[in-house]
Structure 1
Amino acid sequence: MSVLDFYRRPLRNLRISVTDRCNLRCRYCMPEAEYVWLPRRDLLTFEEISTLVDVFMELGVNKVRLTGGEPLLRRDLPELVSMLSAKPLKDLAMTTNGVLLAGHVEALKKAGLNRITVSLDTLRADRSKTLSQRATHPSVLKGIASVAPAGFTDTKIDTVALNGVNDDELIDLIEFGRTVPAEVRFIEYMDVGGATAWSPDLVLSRAEMLTRISAHYGPVTPLPNPDGAPADRFALPDGTTFGIVSSTTRPFCATCDRSRLTADGLWYLCLYAMEGVNLRDPLREGATKAELAELISGAWRARTDRGAVDRLAERDRMPFVPLTALKRDPHLEMHTRGG
């Protein structure tokens, strides 16, 4: 069954945050000293997540990505992976900051995880400590090094490119990706959630990235994107590929098929959405799968979200959510809704 929204975008990709907690405090995501955490009693159990995934699959979802916070902080995560990998999904992936990855990678592979994406914003330990406010860079590199030996392929490295901060490492990161091996995806700095210090001056644009990369390697070739993935992919003259997620300067809202389920069961239809659909309470109150499917499909059919496009049209663009609003509602944070 294929459910289409107002703009005829299918419900296809589901990102599931398994915890809102994180062991880093990246300045572009979680810069504050203190946060309001979701009550543990409100978090979905693995069985509840599995049930909701069954319903989403009936409505067309065929790709699931586990996120956080940092997903490896959720105890016994391989158990959830085993439950989900038994389903006929096209892809089951996970995004992690890599700090704990080396200790879990073999169990995740055995449980049936298909792919891993690791966040890596810099190759420099001192710069990493400044960005993440933690001295965990060696553990991240160790985690990345453990992925291929565990049997994973099609690995991705996500880098938030910040003008004047790590923009001098584009080439170094591409070269590092060759050694993993992994495809590096550069992400424009977005003004969402905890990006309370966001400024247009900090955004390294897709156009500027391509200019710098082409100046070093020679002309790059755009690659097809049949699945409507968020990253525009390119090939260097020698065939090495990389991606750019240009949500800030060239939004992909027209083809966005992604939605996000928080760890406590709120379903967000857009990264910029201010409100989500509560799926936890109906589930715990005994709603049938058919009733849940009706709730989900109805919300998706009414979806008109084009958050990044709307933001791009604003004349005086400032951080999307002020700190006072974030403190009132932790669901507005990107570490809660899975980024």
Structure 2
Amino acid sequence: MVEANPLKDSFGRKIEYLRLSVTDRCDLRCFYCIPKGFKDFSTPEHWLTFDEIERIIAIFGQLGVSKLRLTGGEPLVRKNLPELVQRLGQLEGIEDLSLSTNATQLVKYADTLKQNGVSRINVSLDTLNPQRFQDITGGNLAQVLEGLQAAKQAGFHPIKINMVVMKGINDDEVSSMVDYCATNDFTLRFIETMPMGETGQDASQNYISLQKIKAQLAEKYDLIPTVMGRGAGPARYFQIQGSNLKIGFITPLSQHFCETCNRIRLSVEGTLYLCLGQDDKIELRDTLRQGINDTELRQLILQAIALKPEKHEFDRKPEQVIRIMSMSGG
């Protein structure tokens, strides 16, 4: 039974959103996420099994977590992921099951994911230029665009495009991405680079404040403040007057949103991270395998929530988070 009082941290924030990484591996190599030549990925014996994942998420659902997002790495490279999706979507308390993806596998999986209970998807897409896409990710842009069309045909709505805006790399494509998303009825979200691990810290030289991007767009469009509803997350949304396009700005550095943070992250190895920009964490996998019962697991989760820090320190201590983004679950 879902408990009447949802999880709250020591700062009074309701914790109702869990981002679950099902793999730290990916079929792309975005330079700001995974270091070039990186091979130190987790191995299958260290991954949470589907049974272990289901058990943990069931407890979270009972405690008041209602939103669950599957992330990676690239979640669709995890074998038999649709089976896990189906199992998680049936758990009590989980009302919103979503997926973050790079879209390379959506031609194959979009219909099955929709049928098995995924309601929304977010797609990482930083450029519409094929050569630039290859430079950033090592992948094929056409494969991603085909995946997005497959998601539309499967009935996903909204489909959110996440664009990390980087100075001197893709900041000249902001208007083109606006046009692309307006044409395809996608929601567009701009994201600031974050100094996560070695790659993120290297990419910080390409940081550009989204306040500047928003000001540029405001010169061209009438931006009307709006809300997104379910799954809005940390973005601040605006609608372009005279269109259906909604644009979100995710600004962890220039205008942080820590005071309303309602999310935590569970890695593929069972590490529960309480903040993307801090190293507060509790390990769940080993305790599961040592025979912890559900009552003890529930108490361990409650103890973890009490550790959630007030805010990140990307601006003051960018060097303190050394784990790469794909290890954290996005």
TM-score with structure 1 setting the length: 0.90
Secondary structure of residue in 2 paired with 1:149:
helix
Task: Tell me, yes or no, if structure 1 residue 109 matches structure 2 residue 114.
Answer: yes
Tell me the equivalent position of 1:10. 14
Q: Which residues of 2 match residues 146-225 of structure 1 at below 5 A? A: 146-193=150-197, 194-199=199-204, 201-217=205-221, 219-224=222-227
Counterpart check, 1:95 vs 2:100: yes
Partner SS state of residue 249, structure 1: coil
Change (3 A) 1:209 1:319: farther
Q: Contact (CA 8 Å) 2:238, 2:248: kept in 1 or not? A: yes
How far, CA to CA, are the matches of 1:157 and 1:226 in structure 2? Answer: 16
By how many angstroms is 1:85 displaced? Answer: 1.2
**Residue deviations 1:231-251, cap 9 Å, x none?**
100111114211010011111
Q: 2:297 aligns with which of 292, 298, 305?
A: 292
1:18/1:30 CA distance change after superposition, 3 Å: same
- Match of 1:159, SS state, is strand
Contact 2:278 2:320 in 1 (8 A): no
Q: C-alpha deviations, 1:27-60, integer Å up to 9, x for none?
A: 1111321231112101111111111011111221
Q: Which residue of 1 is the match for residue 326 of structure 2?
A: 335
Structure 2: gaps (5+ residues): none
Q: Is the 8 A contact 1:94 1:117 kept in 2?
A: yes
User: Displacement of 1:97 after TM fit?
Assistant: 0.7
Provide the C-alpha distance between the structure 2 equivalents of 1:74 and 1:303, rounded to a whole number of angstroms: 29
Q: Distance in 2 between matches of 1:252 and 1:160?
A: 17
Contact 1:144–1:180, Cα closer than 8 Å, also in 2: no
Q: Distance in 2 between matches of 1:216 and 1:318?
A: 34
Matched, 1:311 2:304: no
Distance across 1 between alignment mates of 2:307 and 2:85: 31
Deviation at 1:196, TM superposition (A): 3.4
CA distance in 1, matches of 2:158, 2:117: 15
* 1:139 partner SS: helix
The aligned counterpart of 2:236 is: 232
How far apart are 1:10 and its partner, in Å? 1.3
Aligned to 2:203, the other structure's residue is in SS state coil
Instruction: Specify the code of the residue in structure 2 equivalent to 1:287.
Output: I
**1:318 offset after TM fit, Å?**
5.5
The equivalent residue for 2:37 is: 33
1:267 touches 1:278 (CA, 8 Å); kept in 2? yes
Q: Distance in 2 between matches of 1:211 and 1:204?
A: 12
Stretches of 4+ aligned residues off by more than 3 angstroms: 224-228, 317-321
The correspondence for 1:130, drawn from 117, 129, 135, is: 135
| CA shift in 2, pair 1:269/1:106, >3 Å | same
Q: Which amino acid is 1:304 matched to?
A: P
Identity of aligned residues (%): 35
SS of 1:195's equivalent in the other structure is: helix
Number of residue pairs the alignment of both structures matches: 322
Give the root-mean-square deviation of aligned CA atoms: 1.7
* Candidates 241, 245, 262, aligned match of 2:267: 262
* From 26, 29, 32, the counterpart of 1:22: 26
**Cα distance in 1 for residues equivalent to 2:61 and 2:43:** 28
Deviation at 1:319, TM superposition (A): 5.0
Distance 1:318 1:306, change over 3 A: closer
